[in-house]
Amino acid sequence: MPPFSLHRQIEADSILIRDLALSQVRLQNQKKVPWLILVPRRADVTDMDQLKIEDRALLMEEMTLASGALRKLYAPDKINVASLGNIVPQLHVHVVARFKGDAAWPHPVWGRLEPEPYQLQAIAEIKVRLNDEVLWTQ
């Protein structure tokens, strides 16, 4: 099994928040909507159904933890969860806090938002809040 290596496009577009049992938790650098990315640390996997059953169970629970983190910090109207990967093939799961009237509502966010990166100070603050205010275990 080759070692896990983060795809350079995901690395460029998001910031590492923390490691969970299976996945990296990353903040998408797009301030229009609160948006986390889970990247399972498994090499050469592009789709969820290619994970082993134990990893699939872990991933579902980490999707739930990421959803809970967004609920705690942002109280969204809806959570969107998706594994797409048509452009970046490395398996990654989007967990996005959606609000009625946000910049893409009611459409999905992908391809619908102009880039609007966070300021560095904002990233630092969100990272602290995600790590200090969220219980990342069940």
**Which residues here bind a copy of itself, judged by CB under 8 A?**
46-49, 53, 56-57, 59-61, 63-64, 67-68, 71, 78-87, 89, 98, 105-108, 110-111, 138
Q: What is the DSSP string of 4-65?
A: P---HHHHHHEEEEEE-SSEEEEEES-TTS-EEEEEES-TT--SGGGS-HHHHHHHHHHHHH
In angstroms, give the least distance from the CB of 121 to a copy of itself. Answer: 30
For residue 60, the minimal CB distance to a copy of itself (Å) is 4
Rank residues 17 and 63 by Cβ distance to a copy of itself and give the closer one: 63
> For residues 10 and 123, which CB has a smaller minimum distance to a copy of itself in the complex?
10
CB neighbourhood size of 18 (10 A): 13
CB of 51 to a copy of itself, least distance (A): 9
Cα–Cα distance for residue pair 110/35, rounded to 1 Å: 11
How far, in Å, are 1, 63, 136 from residue 87 at the CA level? Answer: 24, 21, 29
- Which is nearer to a copy of itself, 60 or 128 (by Cβ)? 60
Residue 108 or residue 118: which is nearer to a copy of itself going by CB? 108
